[in-house]
Chains A and B, each alone.
Chain A
Amino acid sequence: MTVMGEIEATIPALRRYAWSLLRNGADADDLVQDCLVRALDRLTTTQAIAAVKPWLFTIMHNLFISRWRTARRRREVVSSEAVEAAEIPVGPGQDSALVMRDLLAGLDHLSEDQRQVLLLVTVEGLEYREVAAILDVPMGTVMSRLSRARDNLRMHMDGRQRPPLRRVK
C-alpha cells in the first residue's frame, strides 16, 4: 500500500483515539484534521516513514499535548456528564450498553497518562515499544502505567457494577 493509502486506512483509528481523549465528536475530528494536515506537510520533507500508524499517532499525541488538552479541561468544567450522555450510543442490549458507559466513565477517573497507555495498547493495538515512542517515555514507564490503569479501572468497575447485576429482570 502507498503511504497515502496507509494514512487513509488509519483515519478511523485516529478518530476513535481522538474521541476517546476528547469525548466530543466535533473536537475529535478537528484534532484529526490538524493531525492529517501536519502529516501531509511532513510527508514531503520526511525521508522514510517506517510505520505509518505509530507516526500518525505520534503527531496527534503531540498536537493533543500542545493545543488540545486545555480544550478538554475547559469543557470538563462546563459539563462532562452532558457531553458523555450525548455521545455514547446506546444500542440493542441495554445491559452491555450500561457496562460500556460505566467503563468509559471509569476511564475518566484514570490519570491522563494511564488512560492514554491503556487506550493505545488495548483499543489501538499498538506495540508497547511503539506506545513508548509515541508518548516519548521509557518502556518501563509504559508497563507501569498500564498496570496502574488496568488495576484502577478494575477497582472502579468492581465498585460500580454490583448494583446493576442484582437487578430483577
Chain B
Amino acid sequence: MIEPDRPVPDRPVQEDELHAYVDDRLDPARRAAVERHLRANPALQQRIDGWQAQSETLRDALAFKAREPVPASLHLGRLLEQRIAGRRRWALDRPWRVAAAMLLMLGVGAAGGWTLRGPQRMGEVTRLGMEAAAAHTVFAADPAHPIEIGPENRPELVAWIDRQLHRQLNVPDLSTQGYRLVGGRVLSTMIGPAAMLLYDDGRGVRITIFLQPMRSDVAPMQPVRAGAANGYAWIDAHMGYSVISDQDGSMHGLADHVRQAMTPER
C-alpha cells in the first residue's frame, strides 16, 4: 500500500519521465513523484508548463484538419473499385505484359517441374480468394447495382454463366442455410472471366460465391481474410470456388455445404 502522506524516498526523476508526465503516460505513483520534483524546481516547472501549453496549442491548431469531411477520393470503397479497374486496365492496355508474365510462369513451371506444382497451386488459390474478396467488398456492399440477372431468371443466369465460363455449373440452393439467391453477374479478372453469385439472408447479411476456371486441377480449401471479407477458396476439377461473407463468424460449414452442392456427382 502506498501512503500518500508519507512518501518513500523517490527514485530520481528521469528526463523521459518528464515527457511521459506531459503526455499523460505515467502511473499515479510516478506522476506524484514528478509533481513533487517539479514543485522543488521552479525553473523546471516552467519548462514543463511550456511543453504542456505547446502540446495543447499544437493539437488545437491542427484539429481543423481531422474534423474536415474526408474527400471522396479517399473513400475506401472507391479505392478498392479503382484497384480492381486498374488491374483490369493493366491487362487490357498491356496484353504483351500479361503474355510475358504468363510465359514467365510457364517457364518457371516447366523448369521447376513437379516440385513447383504445390506452391503454384497455393498461389493460385490465394489469388482466387483475393479476387473473390475484392468482388465481394465492391459488389455485395452496394445494394444498387450488384446483379445483372435476378433470381426470377435462374435458368437464364445458369446458361449465361455456363456460356461465359465455358463450363456447366449449377447455382446452389442455400435455403436450408438461410440464404436466398439475389442474382449473379459476370466479372472480368486478369486471368479471364469469373462469375459471382449473390445471396442474402433477408436480414442484411450477404454472401457471395465466386467462380472462375483455373489452370490447376485441384487445391484444398484455404481460408480467405482481406479486410472485412472472410471466407474460403478452393479448386475442384479446374474450377475455382470461393465463398465470402463480411460477417465475423466461421464460414467453414457454409463453404462445405457449397462445395457439396456444386459437385453433387462426386
Contact = CB atoms under 8 A, between A and B. Distances in A.
A100 B67 contact: no
Contact of A12 (B22, B60, B66, B226): B66
Given A7-B76, A15-B74, A153-B54, A43 B227 contact: yes
A104 B61 contact: yes
Contacts of A100: 57, 60-61
B52 to A, nearest CB: 10
Interface of A: 2-5, 7-8, 11-13, 15-16, 19-20, 29, 32-33, 36-37, 40-41, 43-44, 88-89, 91, 96, 99-101, 103-104, 107, 118-119, 121-123, 127-128, 143, 146-147, 150-151, 153-154, 157-158
A58 B246 CA distance: 27
Shortest Cβ-Cβ A-B pairs, 5 listed:
A100-B61, A4-B227, A16-B65, A12-B66, A2-B228
Given A100-B61, A122-B55, A128-B19, 12 more contacts: A4-B76, A11-B74, A12-B65, A15-B74, A44-B130, A101-B61, A103-B61, A107-B58, A122-B23, A122-B54, A154-B50, A158-B50
Contact of B60 (A19, A96, A150): A96
Query: Which label, helix, strand, loop or mixed, suits the secondary structure of the A interface?
Result: helix
B8 interface: no
A127 B16 CA distance: 13
Interface in B12-61: 15-16, 19-20, 22-23, 25, 47, 50-51, 54-55, 57-61
Report, as a range, how many residues of chain B touch the other chain: 35 or more
A41 B130 CA distance: 10
Contacts of A89: 64
24 contacts: A3-B227, A4-B137, A4-B228, A5-B228, A11-B74, A15-B66, A15-B68, A15-B70, A15-B74, A19-B62, A44-B133, A89-B64, A100-B60, A100-B61, A101-B61, A104-B62, A119-B58, A123-B58, A123-B62, A127-B25, A128-B20, A143-B15, A150-B50, A157-B54
Contacts of B64: 89, 91
A150 B227 contact: no
Contact of A40 (B16, B19, B80, B246): B80
B76 A40 contact: yes
Contact of B47 (A40, A104, A154): A154
B170 to A, nearest CB: 29
A153 B47 CA distance: 11
Contacts of A104: 61-62
B136 to A, nearest CB: 12
B79 interface: yes
B176 interface: no
A146 B23 CA distance: 11
Contacts of A37: 79, 83
Choose among B51, B65, B71, B228 the residue with the greatest number of A CB atoms under 10 Å from its CB.
Answer: B65
Contacts of B153: none
B222 to A, nearest CB: 13
B168 interface: no
B80 to A, nearest CB: 6
A8 B228 CA distance: 12
A15 B75 CA distance: 13
B66 A20 contact: no
A5 B77 CA distance: 11
A40 to B, nearest CB: 6
Given A122-B55, A147-B19, A13 B74 contact: no
